[in-house]
Amino acid sequence: MRSSTTPERSLGPGMGPGICKMPELQQHADPVTSVSQPALLPERHLFAVHTIAHLFNLERYNDSQQAADGSLSSVLSDLHQDGSDKWLNPIHSNSTTPAYVTFTSIPGLTGVIITVALILMVTSSMEFIRRSYFEVFWYTHHLFIIYFAGLVIHGIAGLVRGQTEESLKKYSPQRCAQYLVYRDGRSTHHHCKEPEFGGIPTESWKWVLAPILLYVFERILRFWRSRQRVVITKVVTHPSKVLELQMHKKGFNMEVGQYIFINCPSISLLEWHPFTLTSAPEDNFFSVHIRAAGDWTENVIDAFQQQKPKIPRIEVDGPFGTASEDVFQYEVAMLIGAGIGVTPFASVLKSIWYKFQHADQSLKTKKIYFYWLCRDTGAFAWFNDLLVSLEQEMEESGKAGFLNYRLFLTGWDNSIAGHAVLNFDTVTDVVTGLKQKTSFGRPMWSNEFSAVATAHPKSVVGVFLCGPEALAKSLQKCCHQYSRLDPRKVKFYFNKENF
């Protein structure tokens, strides 16, 4: 689910990250050599280079206009200053300054506007701003409309100029430049005519037209999908401030581990937040679990708990795919959820439960290792019923060893630990009520991977994480460490969804 994993809020439909599944999603297909992105210079750096180069260029224009030394740049600056449009230097008089040109010309003014817009978008994209002041990030990013509009018209005034093709036929720069200097701007050579200059045609619209059209099409499509009626069939309040919404929408089809965007118009017309689907494809409804993690999620939970004057209306866009969809493509799967990051695996385990009930012979997966890390005991409560059902179903079907799950409590006090020690010999765990005992602390991942590699020496193991980046780095390191170069031996494929 997202809400719990989302720092607080997340993006509008189609704009970005949010919880456990978003643009931050990465899937590494190579078990030994992880797939990495090429070291490209960020766009904002290229933008800075472009802007600084133009500032130096304007200073050079100004120096050429002010110069009286008869140099080529000085002579060229004086050409066609009689009101024609054949000039080379945009600074036409000694009283005109680079700042004046910057704020009065179309290229200069649009350049300033798109520079300010980009700076605001880049700074508001910092993780601290996104997580703590999401609205600032969200609304500031709509400046992209101004940015692209300014980018399209930035070059139409032709500030960057060159010698026209017709003039080049009459005046060869290599052969005739010296005559301009020696003759004080008036060439008397019969092969050399006074050069004429024109603006270089703008082509920026060619580069942005296709992306803009695709974006507009996507926005229209997603708006249409989000306006389709959603029926809330059940509302369940779980411990640890977790709200479960079960919904139905005509034509809605999902796969395990996918996510949707949710909007609650009574709270905010513009805010859309991504949440992982916790239902299985076999259910006759789709569901999400929303944990209080900020203003928006708290307001949603309060609205559904109060239901005044009626249940709030919900709009849904999606579903959208993630790496967890591939879990059934592996013979062995390791599922790791941190906190509310368990939600994509709720869908996976529910689907397995249905497959066992219907004796699905197409199930390729033979073994699942499930790890859930939580800070407080209340977080286990809403997931317990599913795990109990799975335990019973696997025992009855003779596949008790299919699911090996471990629950880790990473935050506790002495009273909880003491109570667990005193009741360690009981059949069920005192913390969760499950047969599997809760472990206190964090897993020793090297030991876990070593055990899996030993138990499945020739298998392809899919490792799926929905959790923080720090945990992702540890798991990815283990995947590389315990994957064998021999293609006939065990390999670990790492799939992650960050929140």
pLDDT digits (tens, 9 = 90+) for 144-193: 989 888 888 887 777 777 777 777 777 777 666 666 665 544 545 556 66
CA–CA distance, 65 with 91 (Å, rounded to integer): 7
Residue 491 has pLDDT above 80, yes or no: yes
Burial class (CB in 10 A: 0-12, 13-18, 19+), 151: buried
How much is the mean pLDDT over the chain? 76
Look at residue 189 in the predicted model and tell me its pLDDT: 52
Q: How far is CA 167 from the centre of its chain?
A: 50
Look at residue 2 in the predicted model and tell me its pLDDT: 38
Contacts of 376 (CB under 8 A, 6+ apart): 240, 409, 411
E strands in 81-172: 161-163
Which run of H or E residues covers position 395? helix 381-396
* Band of residue 217 on the pLDDT scale cut at 50, 70, 90: very high
What value does the mean pLDDT take over residues 232-244?
Answer: 83
What value does the mean pLDDT take over residues 209-224?
Answer: 88
Structure tokens at 112: 């300033």
Look at residue 15 in the predicted model and tell me its pLDDT: 36
Lowest mean pLDDT among 28-32, 179-183, 221-225: 28-32
What value does the mean pLDDT take over residues 253-280?
Answer: 87
Residue 498 has pLDDT above 70, yes or no: no
Distances (CA, A) of 205 to 116, 219, 388: 20, 20, 59
Q: What distance separates the 2 farthest-apart alpha carbons in the chain?
A: 108
Q: Which one has a higher pLDDT value, 423 or 479?
A: 479
What value does the mean pLDDT take over residues 57-64?
Answer: 77
What value does the mean pLDDT take over residues 311-333?
Answer: 84
CA–CA distance, 276 with 467 (Å, rounded to integer): 13
- Helix, strand or coil, per DSSP, at residue 372: strand
Please name which of 395, 356, 350 lies closest in space to residue 370, comparing C-alpha atoms: 350
Look at residue 25 in the predicted model and tell me its pLDDT: 32
Residue 320 has pLDDT above 90, yes or no: no
Ramachandran quadrant class, 496 (left: phi over 0; alpha: psi -120 to 50; beta: rest) = beta
* Band of residue 89 on the pLDDT scale cut at 50, 70, 90: confident
Buried b / exposed e over 213-240, threshold 16 CB at 10 Å, is: eeeeeeeeebeebbeeebeeeeeeebeb
What value does the mean pLDDT take over residues 298-316?
Answer: 84
Dihedral angle over CA of 54, 59, 64, 65, nearest 10: 110
What value does the mean pLDDT take over residues 33-61?
Answer: 63
Residue 492 has pLDDT above 90, yes or no: yes
CA–CA distance, 152 with 207 (Å, rounded to integer): 9
Domains present along the chain, CATH in parentheses = 45-199 (no CATH), 228-320 (2.40.30.10), 326-496 (3.40.50.80)
Contacts of 383 (CB under 8 A, 6+ apart): 342, 346, 372
**φ, ψ (nearest 5 deg) of residue 242:** -115, 130
Is the peptide bond between 173 and the residue preceding it cis, with omega within 30 degrees of 0?
Answer: no
* 438-481 pLDDT tens trace: 778 888 999 999 999 999 988 889 999 888 888 888 999 999 99
Place of tokens 């397995």: 352
Look at residue 222 in the predicted model and tell me its pLDDT: 82
Place of tokens 């100029």: 161
CA–CA distance, 445 with 439 (Å, rounded to integer): 14
Most confident of 126-135, 157-166, 264-273, 412-421: 264-273
Q: Which one has a higher pLDDT value, 100 or 27?
A: 100
What value does the mean pLDDT take over residues 261-287?
Answer: 87
**Contact call for residues 498 and 6 (beta carbons, < 8 A):** no
What sign does the CA torsion over 451, 457, 459, 460 have? Answer: positive
CA–CA distance, 243 with 300 (Å, rounded to integer): 9
Q: Which one has a higher pLDDT value, 288 or 400?
A: 288
Look at residue 379 in the predicted model and tell me its pLDDT: 62
Amino acid found at 103 = F
Q: What is the DSSP letter of 201?
A: P
* Band of residue 17 on the pLDDT scale cut at 50, 70, 90: very low
Look at residue 478 in the predicted model and tell me its pLDDT: 92
What value does the mean pLDDT take over residues 75-87?
Answer: 70
pTM to 2 decimal places: 0.64
- Helix, strand or coil, per DSSP, at residue 148: helix
Look at residue 130 in the predicted model and tell me its pLDDT: 80
Residue 236 has pLDDT above 70, yes or no: yes
Burial class (CB in 10 A: 0-12, 13-18, 19+), 67: middle
Percent of the chain with pLDDT over 70: 75
User: SS3 letters for 290-328?
Assistant: EECCCHHHHHHHHHHHHCCCCCCCCEEEEEECCHHHHHH
CA–CA distance, 242 with 437 (Å, rounded to integer): 24
**Contact call for residues 183 and 127 (beta carbons, < 8 A):** no
